[in-house]
Amino acid sequence: MNEPTATGDAATDERPPVPVTVTIAFWALLVIYAVGTIASAIDRVREPADDLAGVGIGARVFSVVILLAFAAIPIGLVVLARRGFGWARVVLLVLWAAGAIVGIAGAAIAGTIGLLTVLSPIVTGAAIALLWLPPSTRYFRDASAARLRHSSVDPSPVS
């Protein structure tokens, strides 16, 4: 039953089907994080020279590289959530909550609350909420059980 197939190993074949809620959350979060990262990178490169007095192109490039490195974290978590790792959705929820609180509080203090400042955390939160709906929760539970079943199988041949 746990024999590898032509398309992959047994663990892949035992993985439960991804529900629509997880698929929608996956694509929505990828788009949200990708657009946010690209917009931030463009902003960093296009900052007026007055704001970066004495800072050369190397510092701008370095800041974009750091931005991309940090952007890989939530994108990686989204991919892991789609693969059925329940802990990834917990981390996404915690990061979203912290980011929303800090972002909105920071914008309020600076007096720069705009539509995007409010809309972005709401849309991201809605996408993350999809990962907590009953079909998603069943998927994470079943995916975890499939991984446990696969890891408990002894791959060595019986003599």
Q: Can you give the residue ranges of every domain in the chain?
A: 17-48+55-144
Residue 18 structure tokens = 């991804």
CA distances (Å), origin 138, targets 14, 21, 145: 15, 11, 10
- Residue 2: per-residue pLDDT: 44
pLDDT recorded at residue 40 = 84
Cα 79 to Cα 28, 55, 61, 73, 142, distances in angstroms: 12, 36, 27, 10, 17
- Taking only the tens place, the pLDDT of each residue in 54-65 is 667 777 788 888
**pLDDT given for residue 129 in this prediction:** 97
| Per-residue model confidence (pLDDT) at position 48 | 67
How far is residue 93's CA from residue 78's CA, in Å, rounded to a whole number?
Answer: 11
Which helix H or strand E contains 75, and what residues bound it? helix 57-82
Ranges of residues in the chain with a pLDDT under 70 are: 1-13, 48-55, 152-159
How far, in Å, CA of 110 to CA of 147, rounded?
Answer: 47
Look up the pTM and report it: 0.78
CA separation for the pair 8, 30 (Å, rounded): 26
